A and B are shown apart, each in its own frame.
Chain A
Amino acid sequence: MDVNFRKIDIDAFDEEILQESELYEQDPRDPAQALDEMKQIQGAVRSCLAKNDTVGALSAVLEHAPYGPTMEDAKIVSLQALMTILNSTKATEIPAAVKSLSQDSQDTLMKYLYKGMAMTGSADTNASVLLTWHEKLTEVAGTGCIVRTMTDRRTV
Chain B
Amino acid sequence: MAPQVFSIAQTPITAHAFSADRSQVAVSLNSNDIQVLSYTGSDWTATETLSEHDKIITSIDWAPTSNRIVTASQDRNAYVWQQTPDPETGKVVWKPTLVLLRINRAATHVRWSPKEDKFAVASGARAIAICSFDPENNWWVSKLLKKPIRSTVLAIDWHPNNVLLAAGSADMKARVFSAYIKEVDEKPSPTVWGSKLPFNTVCGEYASPAGGWVHSVGFSPSGDVLAFTGHDSTINVVYPGGPTVHIIRMSTLPLITLAWTSEQTIVAAGHDCQPLVFGGSEAGWQEMGTLDDGSHGGSSGPRSGPGRLNTGAFQAFKNADSRGQGATSGDTKLNTVHQNTITSVRPYQYGSAGEVSSVSTSGVDGNLVLWDANSVTAITGRMAGMSM
Interface residues of A (CB under 8 A from B): 16, 18, 22-24, 103-104, 107, 135, 138-139, 141-145, 147-148, 151-154
Asked whether B253 lies within 8 Å of A143 as measured between CB atoms, the reply is yes
B interface size (C-beta, 8 A): 27
A115 to chain B, nearest CB (A): 15
How far is A144 from B210 in the complex, measured between Cα atoms in Å?
A: 11
Interface of B is mostly: loop
B171 — which chain A residues lie within 8 A by C-beta? 18, 22-23
Asked whether A18 lies within 8 Å of B387 as measured between CB atoms, the reply is no
B6 to chain A, nearest CB (A): 29
Asked whether A152 lies within 8 Å of B251 as measured between CB atoms, the reply is no
How far is A142 from B126 in the complex, measured between Cα atoms in Å?
A: 34
Nearest CB in chain A to that of B172: its residue: A23
Asked whether B383 lies within 8 Å of A139 as measured between CB atoms, the reply is yes
Asked whether A147 lies within 8 Å of B383 as measured between CB atoms, the reply is no
| B225-276 interface (Cβ within 8 A of A) | 230-234, 249-254
Interface residues of B (CB under 8 A from A): 126, 150-151, 171-172, 209-213, 230-234, 249-254, 308-309, 383, 386-388
Nearest CB in chain B to that of A106: its residue: B249
26 contacts between A and B (CB under 8 A): A18-B151, A22-B171, A23-B172, A23-B211, A24-B211, A107-B210, A107-B249, A135-B388, A138-B386, A138-B388, A139-B383, A142-B251, A142-B252, A142-B383, A143-B253, A143-B309, A144-B253, A145-B251, A147-B212, A147-B231, A148-B233, A151-B232, A152-B210, A152-B212, A152-B232, A153-B211
How far is A143 from B251 in the complex, measured between Cα atoms in Å?
A: 6
How far is A41 from B230 in the complex, measured between Cα atoms in Å?
A: 33
Asked whether A143 lies within 8 Å of B232 as measured between CB atoms, the reply is no
What are the 9 closest A-B residue pairs judged by CB atoms, nearest first?
Answer: A142-B251, A144-B233, A151-B212, A152-B210, A148-B210, A151-B232, A147-B233, A144-B250, A18-B150
